[in-house]
Amino acid sequence: MTDTLPNLRHEAAGCTRCELYRAATQTVFGEGPVPAQLALVGEQPGDHEDRSGHPFVGPSGELLDRALEAAGIDRTQVYITNAVKHFKWTPRGKRRIHQTPNQTEIQACRPWLDAELEAAAPRLVGLLGAVAAKAVLGQDFRVTRSRGQVVTASAGVWSGPAVATVHPSSILRTTDAAAREQGFKAFVADLEVMAGLLP
C-alpha cells in the first residue's frame, strides 16, 4: 500500500477486500487538507455519497456542516472520512436502505483508514457514531457512556487523542422536534470539545 493520499485514493478505487464493492457505485475515500488538525471518521457513505463519490454530502453531511459551524470548526480544514468506504445497502422498492457494516467489512477496510490517518497526521480524531468509535477505540467503547470525552487511543488504527460523539444521522432520525434540537445541541457541545483541542 503506497502512502500518499492521491496514491491511496487511486488504490482504494479498485478495492475488492470485501464484498461491498459489488453493490456500491464507487469507493468513497476521505477528503480534506493534509496535514489536517482534525480528522473526522464516520461510518460509511450513504446514498448521496455513493452516487457523488464524496463523504458527508447528503443529509447527514448537511447537519454535520451546521454543527461544525456552530462549534466554530471550519469544515474545509477538516479531513473527513469513513470507517467503511463502500455503501452497504439493501433494496426496498426503489430505495436503497442503509445497512450497518459487519466486523469483517470494517476490518477489511481498516488498512485504508490506518493509512489515511497516518497520511493526514491529524492532531485529533473525532469519531462520529458507534461504528467509527469501535473501529478506532475497540469493541468495548460505548459512545453513550463516553461521548465528548478526550480519550487516548493506544492500539491499532490511531494512537493519539480522540473524541467520540453520536452519528449525525441519529439526530436526523429523532422525530420529536424538541428532542432533535436537544440532540443537535449535545452534538455541537461534543464538537466544541474537539474545537477546544485545536490550535
Q: Which of 48, 52, 51, 46 is nearest to 82 (CA)?
A: 46
E strand or H helix at 109, and its extent? Answer: helix 103-120
Report the alpha-carbon angle 165-74-3, nearest 5: 80
Q: Which is nearer to ligand URA, 76 or 199 (CB)?
A: 76
CB of 199 to ligand URA, least distance (A): 26
* Smallest separation (angstroms) from ligand URA to the CB of 88: 11
96 phi and psi angles, rounded to 5 deg: -110, 115
CB of 123 to ligand URA, least distance (A): 22
CA distances from 164 to 20, 87, 145 (A): 26, 22, 10
> For ligand URA, which is the closer residue by CB, 46 or 183?
46
Q: Minimum CB separation from ligand URA for residue 61, in Å?
A: 6
- For 118, the enclosing helix (H) or strand (E) is helix 103-120
Q: Which is nearer to ligand URA, 43 or 105 (CB)?
A: 43
Residue (of 26, 38, 33, 37) closest to 76 by Cα position: 33
Residues 115, 35: Cα–Cα separation, whole Å: 13
Nearer of residues 2 and 173 to ligand URA, judged by Cβ? 173
Q: Which residue is nearest to ligand URA (CB)?
A: 42
Q: Which is nearer to ligand URA, 27 or 60 (CB)?
A: 60
Contacting positions for ligand URA (CB under 6 A): 42-46, 49, 55-56, 58, 60-61, 82, 169
Shortest Å distance, C-beta 170 to ligand URA: 11
